[in-house]
Amino acid sequence: MTTAVDGKQLLRERLEGLRQIPTIPAVLTPLLRYLEQPVEKLDVEKITNFLAQDKSLAAQCLQMANSPLFGRWQQVDSLHGAVVSLGLNHVSDIAMSCGLLKMLPGEKTGIDPIVFWEHSLGCALLCRRLARNINLHDPGKAYLAGLLHDLGIIVNLWLLPDEFGEAFEAARSEGIPLHETEQRILGFTHCDSGRLLAERWGFAPDLVEVVAYHHAPQASSQDVALVSLVHIADLLCRTGGLNYGYVEARQVNLSEDAGFTLLVRNSEALRKFDWARLSFELDSYMDEAHRLVRTIYRG
């Protein structure tokens, strides 16, 4: 077992010396920043030019535009046509998803890449749904935060595959949250390692906070509402079937959860939110996540 101090020092040393962690496509950062503007200020041609700078990303967007997943029955044969066909919101979603989906190591790691990304995508979809319904945050930013929240798991798989594998197997066999066994075995969690990589990649401060504190929103100092939103979505996905491939043996009482309390302080609408309906709709989010991940991985 590694102490927290030793574990974090080892993590920093390996992160500094390791160059094998894939980087996000260079075009994604300026593209996503551009897409943060109001829709009326966006130019389809400029978005097309951004995507055209990365052949792999352009090909994946074109593939998705022709997928029945998005209800397209007429062939789209140009990148410009794909952007128009998908719509600006979907372009942002797909660009980020495609850019990150294949970052896990190729060798067997214990955690199934498809299951991992289904959880991340399910969390992203749920964050966007919650943001829209309680008018708490920009739905696009909420989606991105949900997609990226487990970035540290990628780091742990690359830097400490054996130790992380041990932590993952312990969590699965005990039916407890992964970050608890990471802390016990590694001396740090994917929140710690994710924060280091998010800062290295120059993520916005609110996204760094999400990566670092989505299991402890009460410790966040910036945009607590967004961190709490991701915390709740992550919790609902982990206990609702969009988990890491195992079931956590725990009962969830949202009214007693720290993240829920913080959200209620920021949104009066949350007090009247129809959680029963949301639980029913989780099935459709799960289905959409399954289809999208498998289209990108196996399409």
Give the DSSP H or E segment for 133: helix 113-134
pLDDT digits 0-9 by tens, 141-198: 888 899 889 999 988 888 888 889 999 999 999 999 999 999 999 999 999 999 988 8
Asked whether residue 199 falls in the same domain as residue 90, the answer is no
Among residues 101, 136, 164, the one where a domain terminates is 101
Same domain assignment for residues 50 and 112: no
Contact assessment for residue 15 and residue 193, using Cβ atoms and an 8 Å cutoff: yes
Same domain for 190 and 81? no
Among 101, 126, 156, the domain boundary falls at: 101
- Kindly state whether residues 29 and 79 are assigned to the same domain: yes
Residue 291 in tokens? 């289809």
**Does 42 lie in the same domain as 114?**
no
pLDDT, one tens digit per residue, over 249-290 is: 877 777 778 888 888 777 776 667 776 677 677 777 777 767
139: which 2 tokens? 């739905």
Would the pTM of this model clear 0.75, i.e. be above it? yes
CA distance 135 to 268: 10
* Chain CA centroid to CA 42, Å: 25
Range of the domain at 237: 4-21+108-298
Angstrom distance (rounded) from CA 174 to CA 171 = 5
Q: Which CATH number belongs to the domain containing residue 132 in this structure? A: 1.10.3210.10
**Domain total in the chain:** 2
Q: Measuring CA to CA, which residue among 89, 117, 123, 101 is closest to residue 226? A: 123
Give the 3-state secondary structure of residue 24.
Answer: coil
User: Dihedral of CA 299/156/127/28: which sign?
Assistant: negative
- Regarding whether 136 and 91 lie in a shared domain, the answer is no
